[in-house]
Amino acid sequence: MILLLITIVLGLVMLIAAVIAVYNKDMKTAIIAAGLTSLFASVLYVLLAAPDVALTEASIGSGLTTLIFFYVYNKIRRNNAQE
Amino acid sequence: MQLFSIEYISLVVGFLILIIGIWGILTRKNILKMVIGFSLFDTGTHIIIVALGYVRNKTAPILDQVNLQTNTAQKIVDPVPQALVLTAIVIGLGVTALMLVYAMKLHNEKKTLNIEKYNDLKW
Amino acid sequence: MLRNSLILLVLLGFAAAVFPLVQSYEGKDTLTGVAEHYANYGKEEVGAANLVSAVVVTYRGFDTLGEVTILFLASAVIGLFLKVSETHTKDSRSVFFKSTEILVTASRLLVPMIMLLGAYIFINGHLTPGGGFQGGAVIASAFALLLLSRPQKHFSHKVISVVESISGIAFVFIGLLGILLAGGFLDNHIFAMGKFGTLLSAGAIPIIYILIGLKVGSELTGIVRNLKESQKVG
């Protein structure tokens, strides 16, 4: 019963974060919201009895993807400011 | 089919994230927002695949206790979808990194990230 | 307005096409088919305690070879697009700001520990949750933290590409050894099987995971390094 409640709360937070990632005008907020969706998906994988997948999603989806997004965003901003 | 079980809720949440991702790809005009939409699309698909492999009231497929090592097929969840999703997450990272580098090169050529200004291929 | 309503129609059509799948889904109560064979005979055929590792490396080893190829392709194309100037002149070094004090001090403590954790994850991949891909990603994040806290440090391109290439060739070589000495490509009976549940068990799986971990770690580090050190693109 308590597991069901945790799943419902996680699902709602993931959906709200996904909507923020698509609709927000500011780019930094959108990138962090996409990383937050991956992080909560990793917790959902632990509840679905898949610890390998949870480890992979937490390290790659929520760590390295956000890092690469921020590097590219920074380069584009620096390029814009130079011209 | 019981409506309130973990795998059914995860299935519905996965489909909704997938649809939000497709909506983001189709309606946004900034190229970086489209790449974020692709990343959400990947995440939703992976949740669907792992939720399809769940068996009720069974445990993770790691044989560390002795009572799991006999008659294993009645005690663990399905290990095959987890192996597929492991591969798919790493490939998703590679494709996302490639798309971002293309976006950077496109911005170098025309100084804008608005996809409506790129009409070289329009007939 | 017309465009938005057309997009909404496409999405509704998509949702209606997959609705029967969601509606007719019934939860399983026991495993059937191929998964039942993997679960019942996995212990004596492969000898690894982590069944997901047994499926990824041995039963579906060919898919892992394909994934390693795709990662190599992506990393090579990114390296092709981002030109990195090999000579680091004085003025290209002066635009880097000094990082904050907290980041520098914390990274001195954390970077060796994160690398140790990554190595632990891929060495014990056949006993606990983990494996080559997870360990490689953790090692790449340790290198990314190092790059963030010391902006003037630069990794040599030669070391990264040598480690990556040798790991990839050794992985294919072990697979070919499987054809000569044991059942087929990427069979893990070429080394002694050992006692179930200890570190030196499951034949060639630890060695394959060490090679995959090194390869994925060096590839992702190469991608991050190319993104950071590239000059004006194109």
The complex scores an ipTM of 0.92
Boundaries of domain holding C178: 50-85+98-229
At C179-218, the pLDDT tens digits run: 888 777 777 777 777 777 777 787 888 889 999 999 999 9
Backbone φ, ψ for residue B5 (5° rounding): -130, 165
Reported as a pLDDT band with limits 50, 70 and 90, residue B67 is confident
Q: Is pLDDT of C15 > 50?
A: yes
Domain boundaries, chain B: 6-56+69-117
Mean pLDDT for the stretch of residues C15-40: 81
Contact between B1 and C43 using a beta-carbon 8 Å cutoff:
no
Q: Residue A63's closest chain C neighbor by CA? A: C141
Cα separation, C51 vs C125, whole angstroms: 10
Q: Is pLDDT of C89 > 60?
A: no
**A52 chain-C contacts, CB cut-off 8 A:** 50, 52-53, 129-131, 134
- pLDDT of res. C232: 53
Q: What is chain C's mean pLDDT, rounded?
A: 84
Q: Which residues touch C71 (CB under 8 Å, ≥6 apart)?
A: B90, B91, B94, C215, C216, C219
**A35 chain-C contacts, CB cut-off 8 A:** none
DSSP run (H or E) holding C15: helix C2-23
Number of domains in chain A: 1
Q: Is pLDDT of B123 > 80?
A: no
Number of domains in chain C: 1
* Residue C181 belongs to a domain: yes
> Residue C179 in 3-state DSSP?
helix
Choose the mutation target among B2, B7, B89 for the interface with A, i.e. most A CBs under 10 Å. Answer: B89
Tell me, what amino acid is at B85? V
Cα separation, B8 vs B1, whole angstroms: 9
Window 14-73 of C: residues touching A by CB (8 A cutoff) are: 50, 52-53
Q: Which residues of C175-188 are buried (b: 16+ CB within 10 A; e: fewer)?
A: bebbeeebeeebbb
- pLDDT of res. C95: 56
Higher pLDDT: C232 or A57? It is A57
Boundaries of domain holding A62: 2-82
* Residue C37 belongs to a domain: no
Q: Is pLDDT of C93 > 80?
A: no
Q: What is chain B's mean pLDDT, rounded?
A: 88
**B87 chain-C contacts, CB cut-off 8 A:** 56, 63-64, 67
Q: Select the residue of B8, B63, B108 nearest C234 (Cβ to Cβ).
A: B108
Reported as a pLDDT band with limits 50, 70 and 90, residue C3 is confident
- pLDDT of res. C156: 85
At A18-54, the pLDDT tens digits run: 999 999 999 999 999 999 999 999 999 999 999 999 9
Reported as a pLDDT band with limits 50, 70 and 90, residue C31 is confident
- Residues C221 and C139 sit within 8 Å (Cβ to Cβ): yes
Q: Which chains share 3+ C-beta pairs under 8 angstroms with C?
A: A, B
Q: Which of B87, A28, C119, C23 is nearest to A20 (CA)?
A: A28
Q: Residue A57's closest chain C neighbor by CA? A: C134
Contact between C224 and A59 using a beta-carbon 8 Å cutoff:
no
Contact between B100 and A75 using a beta-carbon 8 Å cutoff:
no
At A61-73, the pLDDT tens digits run: 999 999 999 999 9
- pLDDT of res. B95: 93
Rg (CA), chain A: 15
- Residues B76 and B68 sit within 8 Å (Cβ to Cβ): yes
**C228 chain-A contacts, CB cut-off 8 A:** 71
> Residue A69 in 3-state DSSP?
helix
The pTM score is 0.91
Q: Is pLDDT of C91 > 50?
A: no
Higher pLDDT: A55 or C188? It is A55
At B40-53, the pLDDT tens digits run: 999 999 999 999 88
Q: Is pLDDT of B76 > 90?
A: no
Reported as a pLDDT band with limits 50, 70 and 90, residue C233 is very low
- pLDDT of res. C86: 58
Q: Is pLDDT of B57 > 70?
A: yes
Give the CATH architecture of domain B6-56+69-117: Orthogonal Bundle (1.10)
- pLDDT of res. C230: 74
Contact between C223 and A68 using a beta-carbon 8 Å cutoff:
yes
Portion of chain B with pLDDT greater than 90, in percent: 51
Contact between C31 and B5 using a beta-carbon 8 Å cutoff:
no
Per-residue CA distances from C230 to B104, C217, C218, C223 (Å): 12, 20, 18, 11
**C133 chain-B contacts, CB cut-off 8 A:** 86, 90
- State the smallest CA–CA distance between residue C94 and chain A in angstroms: 16
Portion of chain C with pLDDT greater than 90, in percent: 32
